[in-house]
Amino acid sequence: MDQGVVDLSRLQFALTALYHFQFVPLTLGMTFLLAAMETVYVITGKPIYKEMTQFWGKLFGINFAIGVATGLTMEFEFGTNWSMYSHFMGDVFGAPLAIEGMMAFFLESTFVGLMFFGWNRLSRGGHLAVTYLVALGSNLSALWILVANGFMQDPVGATFNPDTMRMEFTDFAALVFSDDAQAKFVHTTIAGFVTGAMFVMGISAYYMLRRQHREFAARSFRMAALFGVISSLAVVTLGDALGRLDYLVQPTKLAAMEGIWHTTTPPAAPWTAFAIPDDVAQKNYAEINIPFVLGPLVAHSFSTAIPGIIDLEQKARVNTVRGIKAVMALHQYSEDKDPAALATFKQYEQDMGYGFLAQRYAPDQDLSKLTADNTPAVLDRAARDTIPNVFVEFWGFRMMVACGFAFVLVFAFGAYFSLRNEIEKHPWLLRASMWAIPLPIIACEYGWIVAENGRQPWTVYGWLPTYMSASSHSVGYMIFSLIGFVLLYSLFIAAELYLMFKFARLGPTDHAAPKPLEGGGPLTFSRPGYADKSWQ
Amino acid sequence: MTRLLQIAALAVVLVFALLFAVVAGDYAPWYFAWMVGTVMIILIAAAGAVLFETQEAGRADGRDPSF
């Protein structure tokens, strides 16, 4: 396999996923926020909440349409660019993707039409049910995608069949209810809630700064701030849960995230707040450490040592020796169906992936050509490969976490001042809310980078290396298709930004006229005739 | 009779919810947390809007609108 093709395949998937993921979180969050707004409309009967649902729903619709278009190509990429991966785990990966298409996506797509065009055709309760079904459908889409991704991170519920050379289901429930799938689903969807809340809060802040649509903006800001403050706290909580899971099932990812080169000594093991990790020298520069924090943070214990990268590499060396035996036995079994070879394979099966890693560096990628002279070098290179890029992982993680805590602060201040009806007295917070609109999307992108870069060098952690997973295209084909995707997706992003800015600036209908600010006293949002049907 | 049926239906829902909580709590704690948490987030946002209207009504009546 040409490494250039593998790298280009990775780059293409990374770019399409990063583009797609600029739309997904907003969809996940906006749907439930719209449902909350419409719930208030149904309960109170006040038309302004219907108008809020319709206006924010219009912006959601722009994002939804373009987001769906960017997502469709990704499923095809599994077949075109990752054919070996699709063969190896298609039995496992295909099921959740099919369920996502048949159940969640159809549910979401069917009801989204009713949501947009059914206002005058459905009863209030009926339309509200449709809005909730759209929200449920979009989040169920995320569930099945993340169940599939959960298997790549923590392969449970399937075993390798040496006769078919692929992973096959043994326990569907184990796959769906795996800890990784669960925590990742909640973390990702709630991060979407944060994105949706920041989007509504930021645009509402823009209106308030411009003294436009103030009744509309104040209510939207209030709902988004409360929606966001709980969501941002939940995201931080789930982030901690995912970190602990990584410590348990993906120790290389965790060590890279925290820049831990040497196994720690509890209880004083420090958490590294700042460092410049050097992957080649395997050390950190300019470290700023906080003692006694790492153990409780990662393992929830003061007495547990956290394995470091250098020790994990040594452990991987042992795994690789066993993995070479597994792969050689597998080759023999595939040729002559020798029961002894099968027995040997079964003995070392759990380390098969490490044998594949070593195969990359064996002469002619043939493990039978390993000798006493060349084996140590092959083992060293294979073991070194098991560590993801530490610099990217370390800083990707910190950027995401910093954004997460910033969101808690912005939402908390927003909710507090909104509840006191003093939000317009704090233009700094309105400006911060407005400029923070893209930050949750950036944090989601960093989160995706941390999750997937940290999984390297595997497509299926511990079983299938990335270098073996790609299709055997030419470099020219990959470059051509990559340029095509970049141009097309950039066009999508430009269209999204143009439409979002256009419709956000236009604002909701009937309230375009600026309302003059009167003195510095408390602001009144109510206007006669506006909330004509009171719930009280 | 209608009221009795309503109470019976709500009792069935309650029993189902309790059983669901027990099973989901054992096998899918994070999924369960998501369901409960999402409902809570929606309710808190909606409650904030209802409180807003109450504050506005209080302001119109000349009462202190602050929370």
CB A292 within 8 A of CB A267: yes
One-letter amino acid of A208:
M
Q: Is residue A516 part of a domain?
A: no
**Encoded tokens for A171:** 């326990």
Report helix, strand or coil for A464.
strand
The ipTM of this complex is 0.88
Higher per-residue pLDDT: A266 or A191: A191
Residues of B with CB under 8 A from a CB of A: 27-31, 33-34, 37-38, 40-42, 44-57, 59-60, 65-67
Chain B hits for A536, Cβ within 8 Å:
53-54, 57
Q: A190 burial class (0-12, 13-18, 19+ CB within 10 angstroms)?
A: buried
Residue partners of A352: CB distance under 8 A and separation at least 6: A160, A323, A326, A327, A330, A345, A463
Higher per-residue pLDDT: A108 or A306: A306
Tell me, yes or no, whether A90 and A224 share the same domain. Answer: yes
Position A536 pLDDT exceeds 80: no
The domain in which residue B21 lies consists of 2-60
Q: Is residue A499 part of a domain?
A: yes
Position A416 pLDDT exceeds 50: yes
Tell me, yes or no, whether A328 and A407 share the same domain. Answer: no
Phi and psi, residue A300, nearest 5°:
55, 40
Tell me, yes or no, whether A80 and A159 share the same domain. Answer: yes
Tell me, yes or no, whether A300 and A337 share the same domain. Answer: no
Tell me, yes or no, whether A219 and A285 share the same domain. Answer: no
B67/A419 touch (CB, cutoff 8 Å), yes or no:
yes
Checking DSSP bridges between strand A464-465 and strand A458-460, what pairing results, if any? antiparallel
Tell me, yes or no, whether A374 and A476 share the same domain. Answer: no
pLDDT tens digits, one per residue of B6-52: 999 999 999 988 888 888 778 889 999 999 999 999 999 999 999 99
A392: left (phi over 0), alpha (psi -120 to 50) or beta: alpha
Q: Tell me the shortest Cα–Cα distance from A51 to chain B, in angstroms.
A: 14
Q: Is residue B66 part of a domain?
A: no
Tell me, yes or no, whether A296 and A332 share the same domain. Answer: no
- Please state, rounded to an integer, the average pLDDT across all residues of chain A: 90
Q: Confirm or reject contact between A532 and chain B (CB < 8 A).
A: no
Q: Domain boundary at A357, A385, A413, which?
A: A385
Number of domains in chain B: 1
Q: Is residue A294 part of a domain?
A: yes
Q: How much of chain A is helix, strand and coil, in % rounded to 5?
A: 70, 5, 25
The closest CB to that of A223, out of B45, B59, B60, belongs to B45
- A150-164, A290-304, A502-516: lowest mean pLDDT where? A502-516
pLDDT tens digits, one per residue of A203-219: 999 999 999 999 999 99
Q: Where are the beta strands (DSSP E) in A187-311?
A: 271-278, 283-290
Compute the distance between CA of residue A180 and CA of residue A276 in angstroms, rounded to an integer.
29
A421/B65 touch (CB, cutoff 8 Å), yes or no:
yes
The closest CB to that of B50, out of A44, A189, A231, belongs to A44
Q: Is residue A529 part of a domain?
A: no
Q: Confirm or reject contact between A225 and chain B (CB < 8 A).
A: yes
Q: Confirm or reject contact between A529 and chain B (CB < 8 A).
A: no
Q: Is residue B40 part of a domain?
A: yes
Tell me, yes or no, whether A53 and A176 share the same domain. Answer: yes
| pLDDT attached to residue A514 | 46
A185/B31 touch (CB, cutoff 8 Å), yes or no:
yes
| pLDDT attached to residue B62 | 76
| pLDDT attached to residue A215 | 92
Spell out the alpha helix ranges (H) of A102-178: 106-117, 124-153, 172-176
Compute the distance between CA of residue A436 and CA of residue A406 in angstroms, rounded to an integer.
9
Q: Tell me the shortest Cα–Cα distance from B60 to chain A, in angstroms.
A: 8
Which residues 113-172 of chain A have a CB within 8 Å of chain B?
none
| pLDDT attached to residue A100 | 86
pLDDT tens digits, one per residue of A333-378: 999 999 999 999 999 999 999 999 999 999 999 999 999 999 999 9
Residue A345 exposure: Cα atoms within 13 Å on the Cβ side: 20
Residue A284: strand pairing partners: A277
- What's the Cα-to-Cα distance from A300 to each of A241, A257, A267, rounded to whole Å? 10, 17, 11
Instruction: Render A145-167 in DSSP notation, one character per residue.
Output: HHHHHHHHHS--SEEEETTTTEE
Chain B hits for A219, Cβ within 8 Å:
49, 52
Q: Is residue B11 part of a domain?
A: yes
Give residue B64's pLDDT band: very low, low, confident or very high (50, 70, 90).
low
| pLDDT attached to residue A281 | 94
Chain B hits for A147, Cβ within 8 Å:
none
A183/B53 touch (CB, cutoff 8 Å), yes or no:
no
The domain in which residue A140 lies consists of 3-250+388-506
Which residues 343-382 of chain A have a CB within 8 Å of chain B?
none
User: How much of chain A, in percent, has pLDDT values that exceed 90?
Assistant: 79
| pLDDT attached to residue A67 | 84
| pLDDT attached to residue A102 | 80
CB A49 within 8 A of CB B49: yes
pLDDT tens digits, one per residue of A16-34: 999 999 999 999 999 999 9
Phi and psi, residue A271, nearest 5°:
-95, 130
Give residue A390's pLDDT band: very low, low, confident or very high (50, 70, 90).
very high
Which residues 421-440 of chain A have a CB within 8 Å of chain B?
421-422
Q: Is residue A519 part of a domain?
A: no
Number of domains in chain A: 3
Position A226 pLDDT exceeds 80: yes
CA nearest to B52 within chain A: A219
CB A399 within 8 A of CB A443: yes
Tell me, yes or no, whether A139 and A287 share the same domain. Answer: no
pLDDT tens digits, one per residue of A99-110: 888 877 788 778
A177/B41 touch (CB, cutoff 8 Å), yes or no:
no
Q: Tell me the shortest Cα–Cα distance from A167 to chain B, in angstroms.
A: 24
CB A323 within 8 A of CB A350: no
Which residues 71-110 of chain A have a CB within 8 Å of chain B?
none
Compute the distance between CA of residue A196 and CA of residue A89 in angstroms, rounded to an integer.
34
Tell me, yes or no, whether A378 and A413 share the same domain. Answer: no
Tell me, yes or no, whether A376 and A491 share the same domain. Answer: no
**Encoded tokens for A212:** 């436009």
| pLDDT attached to residue A109 | 78
Q: Is residue A255 part of a domain?
A: no
Q: Is residue B19 part of a domain?
A: yes
Residue partners of A500: CB distance under 8 A and separation at least 6: A59, A62, A63
Tell me, yes or no, whether A297 and A336 share the same domain. Answer: no
Q: Is residue B65 part of a domain?
A: no
Position A519 pLDDT exceeds 60: no
